[in-house]
Homo-oligomer: A and B are copies of this chain.
Amino acid sequence: MHVTLVHVYVLPQSIAGFIEATQENHEASIKEAGNVRFDVLQDPEDPHHFMLYEVYRSPEHASHHKTTDHYARWRLRVEEMMAKPRQGIPMDWLFPA
């Protein structure tokens, strides 16, 4: 498994737009071969802070995600919404086995 926790901080005026763009990315990403999780979470303590929990069966499946049209469209749409560069934290998957 290939796991990434993507932390995104968006500008105050971009919360609704980010959610809309990310819903579209989510819906296409969960249909990709090898996708296991593409959960989108929002921090109740700081609604500008989102976490995307992305899990793919292999590094190749995760790399393929970055070549898709929906990823390119998302990246372009959200680029100007970010308060700072997004941070992708890799994690190792232990369970479920």
- Place the interface of chain A in its size category: 20 to 34
Q: Given B19, B55, B90, which contacts A94 in the complex, CB threshold below 8 Å?
A: B19
Query: Is chain A's binding surface mostly helix, strand, loop or mixed?
Result: strand
Q: Is A92 an interface residue (CB 8 A)?
A: yes
Residue in chain B with minimal CB distance to A92:
B42
Would B96 and A30 count as touching, CB distance under 8 A?
A: yes
A96 to chain B, nearest CB (A): 7
Would A94 and B30 count as touching, CB distance under 8 A?
A: no
Would B44 and A94 count as touching, CB distance under 8 A?
A: no
Q: Given B37, B41, B92, which contacts A92 in the complex, CB threshold below 8 Å?
A: B41
Q: Is A65 an interface residue (CB 8 A)?
A: no
